[in-house]
Structure 1
Amino acid sequence: MHFLVAPDSFKGSLTSARAAQAFALGVQRACPKANILQLPIADGGEGTVASLLQATGGEMVNVDVHDSLARPIRAGYVVLPDGTAVLEAASAVGINLVQPADRNLWQANSRGLGEMLLHALERGHRRIIVGLGGSGTNDAGIGLLHALGARFYDAAGHSLEPTPAACQAVARVDLANLHPALHGADIWAACDVANPLCGTRGATFVYGPQKGATAADLPRLDAVLSHIASTVEQAFARPCQALPGAGAAGGIGFALLVLGAQFARGVDLVLDAIDFDLHLQTADLVLTGEGCTDEQTCFGKAVAGVAERAKAAGVPVICISGAVLEGAKGLYDLGVSAMFSIVNGPISAEDAMEQAFSLTANAAEMVVRAFLAGYQRTQGTMRSTMNS
């Protein structure tokens, strides 16, 4: 039998690649002769590059950039076999790279991601996918634009650093030195949110608090981003701040939109890149999962994307996650046949995370044993019908 294991990461305990290994171990225990294909996945956030590297055998490119607070950092992106470069915001300007006590959205910017994008362009890559999950910035993407050649000036003509604190005084954006390779680039933003840049549903109000913004910061920071964005839009002659996705990654989505990028669900870009639909053609069962499956999973997350593709191909899908909450039932309509938690008895969250690999392998084994029992009974019934 052919099993396709395609989990997302179990955040805090297992990377998607490690989760796939646990799934595969459980499948092998239950069905020693199984043909198992491991395709760890992601939805554009942290782990996307690692997943694609393992699934495609692409090239890892490391580059010296700056994190969200302008500190030197070594980050990397993957080049797929077809030449597509895949970048993660999280690897350069991720929130997890900055300690909570050091987070300051007035000073943080997206320059490091822009430096990675510039590196890919100068290497000759013209199709570029940018994963927008996990950023620690809220700068409307001006750091990224600055790295690509845009310059910001106040009313007196003084040059401004590309931070919200400095650019609250911006009066003009100069695009004369914007990198020429951008004109021929096919840039895709991997994004699973539809927030505009500003307003109560925008980047600042919705995501700012988890990045360190205080209640007093929110209205002021939102107003600054609106002013910055209006000035950027004037320079590019492209109104984008109200578009869905402009608020992704603290407004990096906005910057990519003014550059002409196209948006797609992160999981769809990932699944296309690893030829997921092709691999589905030989699969008898798909196993997927994540750290916590809940109502949010149904709205474009990795597990939902896998379920939709498998349903279209007529392949059953079983979800095995760290936790399965009540709101996850919407996944049944998307193609998931059953959902299971790896936790098989009373256990603390800390112990569950520490034992995640063995618990996941055990859960996968039990699920596959149950699947095989049903499969064998079905085959037996078919044979009886044919012989009667």
Structure 2
Amino acid sequence: MKKIILIPDSFKGTMSSETVCRIMSGVLQAHFPDAELVSIPVADGGEGSVDCFLCALGGKKKYVQVHGVFGEPMQSCYGVLPGGKTAVVELAACAGLPLAKDRLNPGKATTYGVGELLLAAAEDGVEQIILGLGGSATNDGGCGAAAAAGVVFRNKDGRSFVPTGDTLAEIDRIDCSGLNPLLRKLSITAMCDVDSPPFGETGAAYIFAPQKGADREAVIRLDQGLRHLCKKIAEELGTDVSGLPGGGAAGGAGAGMHAFFHAQLKPGIETILDLTNFDFCLTGTDLVLTGEGQIDGQSLRGKVVAGVARRAAKQQIPVVAVVGSIADGAEEIYEQGVTAMFSINTKAMDFSQSRWESEKNLKITMENLSRLLSAGFQHTGRTAKGKER
């Protein structure tokens, strides 16, 4: 084995992608000491995206004071990649679910700080911003970010306000003339790990708001708010985002980023694979190892494992997915180019317990996988020598 690429997602709630790469690399190095090991830790747009980009490509963090998920002052950051022309911003860095802690309330949460991060990056002189939309605590359709950047929202009385999930239905007029000119000049790519539309039974509120603390009544209210926002965007801005794939990402922020900032919505893994020149990196590769916390039917929709497998399949390179758990529907991933998948869970145990053993279990799984791979290569070598005779 001459070259192995390690390109896992994080295992949510247990291990960062950098940690997964470190453990995989350590075990493989012991079994294949002469192999070139290429680590590309990735994130699909959620928490950790900035760190993953900086780890894979280099660059530096910039720290800035912004408003948090409920408007409180906080220090956040964004990344600037080598050359200074591209910035990476995480919505989760100031509007993420972990920041809400025990105050989960998507009706009150705001993306205002995200707009402040975008402005700070634009003032840094970048020409492109990559915005990760995963892991939000919000359901404001990106209106908070737009307001921070200069977009004005008015109610029927003509009063300007910053809409949140609970007040989207109060929007009567939208004025984008005050959008900061620096943001008009640059390109924004919004990384989505879902293809959900903004509203409806498969939209932001019905699918994701319950995870953010919304009860049934709140879900209905939030969905109606997003419907109203999309209607006003069509009337005021002439842009139809009602069925936009990925528009439901981050509580409808996908739709808002497209409408207010003209952002291009793109699966997060595709953005990462392009920036890291993954297709070129595959040259001479014998095996690709990827993974995520749980592999299931959702893994086919813009997630890391499927995105990696599709690229590797074009060059006929085998892909092994090492994951936390394997759920119903996961077998469909084989059709995307995954050769095999292995769960790191060594015994039946609830996640609340198994999460604390994740690193140990990953090491055990990698040890067994490495032994299997080593035995396979040794057998292949003996067979080849036998044929020569």
TM-score (norm 1): 0.94
1:165-184 correspondence runs (5 A): 165-184=166-185
In the aligned structure 2, how far is the partner of 1:109 from the partner of 1:346? 40
Task: Out of 29-38 and 256-265, give the one that drifted further.
Answer: 29-38
Q: Which moved more, 1:61-70 or 1:174-183?
A: 174-183
In structure 1, the residue matched to 2:80 is 79
The aligned amino acid for 2:270 is: D
Runs of 4+ in 1 over 4 A off after TM superposition: none
Show the 5 A alignment for 1:206-225.
206-225=207-226
Q: Write the distance in 2 (CA, Å) between the matches of 1:164 and 1:352.
A: 35
Change (3 A) 1:295 1:28: same
Paired with 1:334 and 1:225, the residues of 2 have a C-alpha distance of: 33
Aligned residue in 1 for 2:98: 96
Secondary structure at the counterpart of residue 240 of structure 2: coil
SS in 2 for 1:336: coil
| 1:66/1:112 contact within 8 Å kept | yes
Q: Unaligned stretches of 5+ in structure 2?
A: none
Describe the shift of the 1:71–1:274 C-alpha distance in structure 2 as closer, same or farther (beyond 3 A): same
Q: Does the aligned pair in 1 maintain the 2:7–2:40 contact within 8 Å?
A: yes
Task: Single out whichever of 38-47 and 165-174 deviates more from structure 2.
Answer: 165-174
Q: CA deviation at 1:8?
A: 0.9
CA distance in 2, matches of 1:224, 1:85: 31
Distance in 1 (alpha carbons) for counterparts of 2:9 and 2:168: 38
Check conservation: 1:22, 1:358, Cα contact below 8 A.
Answer: no
1:33-44, aligned counterparts within 5 Å?
33-44=34-45
Q: Please give the alpha-carbon distance, in whole angstroms, between the structure 2 residues aligned to 1:161 and 1:267.
A: 32
- Whole-Å separation in 2 of the counterparts to 1:108 and 1:69: 5
Q: Who is 1:337 aligned against? A: 339
Structure 1 segment 222-261 matched on structure 2, within 5 A: 222-258=223-259, 259-261=261-263
1:281 alignment counterpart = 283
Question: Shift in Å at residue 33 of structure 1?
Answer: 3.1
* Residue 267 of structure 2: aligned partner: 265
Give CA-to-partner distance per residue, 1:270-324, whole Å, 9 cap, x none: 1112222222113211111111122221222111111111111222111111212
Most deviating of 144-153 and 204-213: 204-213
Q: Distance in 2 between matches of 1:15 and 1:255?
A: 29
Runs (5+) with no aligned partner, structure 1: none
- 1:159 is the counterpart of 2:153: no
Change (3 A) 1:87 1:384: same
**Matched residue SS, 1:355:** helix
- The separation in 1 between residues aligned to 2:319 and 2:24, in whole angstroms, is 13
Alpha-carbon deviation of 1:240?
1.7
- Distance in 1 (CA, whole Å) between partners of 2:293 and 2:116 is 31
How far apart are 1:116 and its partner, in Å? 0.7
User: In 1, are the aligned partners of 2:105 and 2:137 still within 8 Å (CA)?
Assistant: no
Structure 1 148/233 Cα, relative in aligned 2: closer, same or farther at 3 Å?
A: farther
Does residue 31 in structure 1 map to residue 37 in structure 2? no
Name the CA distance, whole Å, in 1 between partners of 2:313 and 2:287.
Answer: 11
Q: How much has 1:351 moved relative to structure 2?
A: 4.3
1:346 and 1:171, CA in 2 relative to 1: closer, same or farther beyond 3 A? Answer: closer
Q: Within 1, Cα distance between the matches of 2:376 and 2:180? A: 59
CA contact (8 A) 1:68 1:93 kept: yes
Does the 8 A contact of 1:26 with 1:363 survive in 2?
A: no
Distance apart, 1:348 and its partner CA: 5.0
Match of 1:49 in 2: 50
Amino acid at match of 1:70: G
**Structure 1 pair 178/327, CA: closer, same or farther in 2 (3 Å)?**
same
Task: Select between 181-190 and 341-350 the one with higher mean Cα deviation.
Answer: 341-350
Deviations 1:19-78 (A, max 9, x none): 110111111222233322211112122222111111111221222111221012222222
Partner Cα separation in structure 2 for residue 277 and residue 182 of structure 1: 31
Change in 2 beyond 3 A, CA 1:131/1:34: same
- Cα offset for 1:149? 0.1
Question: Which amino acid is the alignment partner of residue 269 of structure 1?
Answer: T
Shift of 1:369: 1.7
Which amino acid is the alignment partner of residue 339 of structure 2? S
Q: Does structure 2 retain, via aligned residues, the 8 Å contact 1:160–1:167?
A: no
The one-letter amino acid paired with 2:23 is A
Distance 1:363 1:274 in 2: 27
Aligned to 1:208, what secondary structure does the other structure show? helix
Post-superposition offset of 1:326: 4.1
More displaced 10-residue stretch of structure 1: 368-377 or 28-37? 28-37
Aligned to 1:302: 304
